[in-house]
Every structure is written in C-alpha cells, then in structure tokens.
Amino acid sequence: MIIFIIENLHERGGGNLEVKILIVDDSKLIRSLLKTTLESELNCIIDEAKDGEEALFRAKLGGHDLIILDIFLPDVLGINLINQLIDIEKDWVPIIMITSAEDKNLLKEALEKGAIDYIRKPFDDVEILARVKAALRTKKLYNDLKEANEALKEMAITDDLTKLYNRRYVMSILGIEFRRSKRYKTPLSIIIGDIDRFKNINDRFGHLMGDEVLKNCARIIKENIREIDIAGRYGGEEFLVILPNTPLDGAVIVAERLRCKVSQYSIEVPCEEKPIRITMSFGVCSYPEAKIETEEDMLKAADEALYISKQESRNQTTFYIHGRFITIPKEAIRSEA
C-alpha cells in the first residue's frame, strides 16, 4: 500500500520540477559561481544571503528545498545556524556545508548538528552538481513519504464511501469532547441520524443507488454543520454528529435543519418516472443532563431517541431531556432555522 501511494505521488510530480535553493556565503563571487553552476543544470530559484542574519530572514520566508551554508560567516559560525535554520523553515530542508577549512572536527560537528553533506573550497562543478542533486533527491523522497503518511493517516480515519470520519475515529473524538465538556462545564450535544427505509432502497434499486444516497446524505450533513462540528459514519446508514459547546436547543435546531434539507433531496432512478425522495430520522442528546454520566450514556439516549423517531412514522426528530423523550412535529421548526 505504501509503495503504491509513493509511486502515485512520483507520477503526479513528474518532470523536472522547479526547486528553491538558499546559498549563504559572505563572498559575492562564491555565490555567483554557485548560482551559475546550479542554474546551468537545474530548474531552480536561487536565494542568496551574505551573513547569518540575512540567512535567518530568508529562511523565515520558507519554501527552500536545499540550503548551501558556509561554515565561516562574518557574524556567526555557520555550524551554529544549522539548528536555527532547520527550526525556522516550515518543513525539513537538507543543508550542505561549504568550507575551505581542513578542520575535520568542524565538519564532524556540522554533520552531527543536522547537515547532510559538505563541499570543500575550491570546489569542482561536477562534484557540486552531484552532491546537490543527491540532496534534492533526499528532499523529494522526504516530501513523498510525508505526503504518503498524510494520505495513510487520512485513510485510517475516513470512511471511504462518504468521506466523513469513520466510526472508530468519531467515537474517539466523542470521548475527548465529553471529557473536555465535563472538565470545563461546557455543553456538548450529539445527533444520531438514520436514513429511512434504506434497506428498501438497496433491495429495490440496488446497492450502487444505495451508495449514492449515502454519499449525498453525508454531503448534506457536512454542508449544514459548523467547521468545529464533527460528522462521522456511525453505522451502515447511520451518522453521528458531535456538536461541541452546543446546548440541547441548538442541537435540536441543527437536527431539524438536517432533516428538512435531506427531505428536500431527491435522486433520479433509471426506469422510474419520478425521482425517489429521501428522508432521515434523528435522535438528540445533550450534556449536562440527568442520568448522563458518560459518552456511552449520551449515545444510548440519542439512539433511543432515534428509535422513537423511527417508530413515530419516521422523518422526525426526538430529543432526550429530564429523563423523557420528546418528538418534534415535522413542521414545528422551519428548515431555514
């Protein structure tokens, strides 16, 4: 799987991509020679700095794929800049030291502090290009692996069909949010939604059509909640929405908004004269609330509320309050609420 992702990343990258190189040396002649040599063989942008202060300023702008750093600068020993440059750059960047010094201890220290290679003055163009290309290959491999890891992480927490969070991840977030709510005494609400008569859709029109319904319901949910809210696929056709810092009345409004938005959605079906209408039922629970001591209690209450909505002719919202379940009449809250 990892190899497959990395290969895809290489395919997407393709070609000779432009790279950005920072040359740090107090000699204008050295900087000019390096720039000419690198630009002759590489598709690159060259940044220049004559001392440590300017090098740090350039690094703060970020985006460098390689830094070529002289050991001896007018205002600082280049070795002492290595950690600062690595910390300042927005991402890891390889550093090649350049020096005329014969002191092997300086080179040893530079490599121990994070430099990946060094070039001695006077330098040879062929050697410079070879070492720079090797460093850039290392940088590209790092970028590819980072992107692959991010893709794998996304895959690990995302439901492949709906692109919402998967059950395991959304449950872990609920645990975190419940503990935060309990600690700071802030309200927390959850909504469980279920697509009505979903089995009939699968049986009558096939699983591909059922998948389309799931994807569109997920899209509607995602489009109608806040950025801080968390939506996930809770089960087959069930969705869980976590609403941090939201009391019960606010959560009921959100549930009703989702219910009305879904009820306005229809899907065209081949060989059918009319598009089929989709509805969802919802159960809502909030904390703090009587008899709610854990996130499992919240889920149980919201699930029971959902069950009541299904029993009450579906396409309805039921919420739990003061040990009771109350079902809202379908037109009690306007869809634009």
Name residues whose C-beta falls within 8 Å of residue 116's C-beta, 6 or more positions apart in sequence.
94, 95, 96, 135, 138
CB distance 242 to 173 below 8 Å: yes
Alpha helices for the chain (secondary structure H): 2-13, 28-41, 52-61, 82-88, 104-113, 125-157, 167-184, 198-205, 207-223, 248-263, 295-311
Residue of 237, 238, 289, 295 with catalytic role:
237
Half-sphere exposure (Cβ direction) of 103: Cα atoms closer than 13 Å? 9
To the nearest 10 degrees (0 to 180), the angle between helices 167-184 and 295-311 is: 120
- Residue 208's CB: how many other CB atoms inside 10 A? 8
292 neighbors 285 (Cβ within 8 angstroms): yes
In the residue annotation, 237 being an active-site residue is answered as yes
Evaluated on CA atoms 228, 280, 311, 167, the torsion sign reads negative
How far does CA 36 lie from the centroid of its chain? 39
> Any idea which residues carry the catalytic annotation?
237
